[in-house]
Amino acid sequence: MTATVGVLLALVFLSVLFSLSSHRLLELIRMMALQGIFVSLVPFLMETHEGFALLNFVLLAVMVFIKGAAIPGLLWLAMRKIQIRREIEPIVSYHVSIFIGLAIILTSVFVSHRMETVALSAHPLLLPAAFTTLSAGLFLLMARRKALTQVIGYLMMENGIYLAGSALARQTHTQYLVEFGVLLDVLVGVMIMGIILHQINDSFDDADTTFLESLRD
């Protein structure tokens, strides 16, 4: 299982770099779906499942469905509703974003190594992946203009928090219940953001958040 977890975490790193380099919203949504599936599988594969096996499988299936299908499906519906297909003029260019992503990965590895977490010695990529995903999501939130892309950045941050929770909480059923509760909050947040996106698009004929600067009292 350790090797499988390592492969999944490596795929999380690649998904972060791909997300920072992509300007097509449909590709970003697909990548968020894959990343959601990866991070959902990681805590499940880290445990031995000696007890509450059925509960673990049920919660895993629900989390994979929400992260890999429900939330990306809502984003896809929002994309079709506002009729935006790509991010044309980001605040930070895509080439620079890739270099920043690589810098985030290196910094995350360095910080994680300095923490010297003995309990995670079997999964040395877990904390770096959590810090990388959290930081890259925050960067995507600040470096893009379209509201839908910013929502995707918010979701990437949630994936980072999810991985960090996997690193800090190793009690199987308790860990899943806490993360499941957080995930439901995120699902509600995405639904609310979809409504806000629709309202922004109706008011400004675009979902570019820079237009909000024109608002006055």
At 171 the pLDDT is: 43
Angstrom distance (rounded) from CA 97 to CA 155: 18
Neighbouring-strand partners of residue 208: 146
Q: How far is CA 49 from CA 44, 57, 58, 172, 210, in A?
A: 8, 9, 13, 8, 48
At 100 the pLDDT is: 95
Question: The tokens of 42 are what?
Answer: 């990681």
The predicted pLDDT at position 182 comes to: 60
Compute mean pLDDT per 10 residues along the chain, 217 residues long, and list them: 85 94 89 91 72 70 85 84 75 91 94 69 82 92 83 86 73 52 61 60 54 52
